[in-house]
Amino acid sequence: MRVARRELYAGRALLIALVAITVLPFLSIFTTALYPSGAVPTGLSWPADPQWGNFVEAFKIANMGPLLASSVFIVLAVVPVSLAISTMAGFAIGLLRIPGARFLLLLFIFGLTLPFEGIITPLYFLARQMGILNTRFAIVLPLIGLFMPFAVFWMRAHFVNMPSEISEAARVDGATTWDLFWKIHVPLARAPMASLGILMSVWAWNQFLLALVLVEDPSQRTMAGGLGAFQGHYATDIPLLSAGTILILLPTLMVFILFQRQVITALLQGSVKG
């Protein structure tokens, strides 16, 4: 497409401005984190004497070690289970077309628009009743359930587009339903499963409301939940709070930079399908 030179420059300028607006907040929080603890720095300015030790300090007082372990535990408990059961359900609804498949699909889709706040109150009482309140399972179990609408919908969208010849050939060769699923369709579904896994990991890591309401001890929470508690205690110590925020951002940022293509594609497809 040919574009006039002036337009080219104007467009690039707009793009660069947008990128700057996205990046500046990160820069500002970074320079703020380097000021002496307790200072009130101006927006974007380099400190005379950068306090790199703030990160160590924030790591200690935010109890970052256990918090990291806790978040990893939650992600590892939620994501593989969600992935396995949603793939099975998507396979049954999209490919086996079991009777009632349409009803099941609608039932799961119904949950897609559901705001978490809508069910957080009963979840609290349910968790209390089950005796899992204030444990990580109070986050893990509801989160698996809450991921189901999207995850099943996502996997079903993959299976429904698989050509039926593959399954028919396998059936003729005498494959059981389980063989069909495990030996043939799971290997073929690796790409959508990987995207879904990445998406759910990011969402679990960033989950705040469930952590806030269902788990009182910050070190048993997700990273986002821990950050919320940290903010409550250190709201006045701006440099330290900034350092803590950066530490909590880092893992997400690293995952994003490592898997950026997959993450972007997954998030975009996820929203288009959802």
State the Cα–Cα distance between residues 37 and 229, nearest whole angstrom.
19
Minimal distance, residue 58 CB to other proteins, in Å: 12
**Helices first, then strands: H and E counts in the chain:** 14, 0
Radius of gyration for the alpha carbons in the chain, expressed in angstroms and rounded: 23
**Applying CB under 8 A, which of residues 69, 183, 231, 258 lies at the interface with other proteins?**
231
In b/e form, how buried is each residue of 128-165, taking b as 16+ CB within 10 angstroms? Answer: eeeebbebbbbbbbbbbebbbbbbbbbbbbbbeebeee
34: which DSSP letter?
Answer: T
Phi, psi of 63 (to 5 degrees): 60, 45
Q: With beta carbons less than 8 A apart as the criterion, state whether 185 and 162 touch.
A: yes
**Applying CB under 8 A, which of residues 46, 48, 52, 113 lies at the interface with other proteins?**
113
Residues 80-99 that bind other proteins (CB under 8 A): 84-86, 88-89, 91-93, 96, 98-99
CB nearer to other proteins: pick between 37 and 206: 206
**Applying CB under 8 A, which of residues 21, 48, 52, 190 lies at the interface with other proteins?**
21
**Applying CB under 8 A, which of residues 58, 67, 74, 223 lies at the interface with other proteins?**
223
Site mask for other proteins (CB under 8 A), range 64-83, x = bound: --------------------
**Applying CB under 8 A, which of residues 205, 215, 218, 221 lies at the interface with other proteins?**
205
Q: Which stretch binds other proteins (CB under 8 A): 48-56, 58-66, 101-109, 185-193?
A: 101-109
Q: Decide if residue 41 touches other proteins (CB under 8 A).
A: yes
Minimal distance, residue 50 CB to other proteins, in Å: 17
State the Cα–Cα distance between residues 222 and 164, nearest whole angstrom.
42
Phi, psi of 34 (to 5 degrees): -95, -5
**Applying CB under 8 A, which of residues 51, 54, 167, 220 lies at the interface with other proteins?**
167
State the Cα–Cα distance between residues 239 and 32, nearest whole angstrom.
5
Q: Decide if residue 56 touches other proteins (CB under 8 A).
A: no
Q: Decide if residue 224 touches other proteins (CB under 8 A).
A: yes
Q: Which stretch binds other proteins (CB under 8 A): 54-62, 188-196, 227-235?
A: 227-235
Q: Decide if residue 59 touches other proteins (CB under 8 A).
A: no
Phi-psi domain of 126 (left: phi exceeds 0; alpha: psi -120 through 50; beta: other): alpha
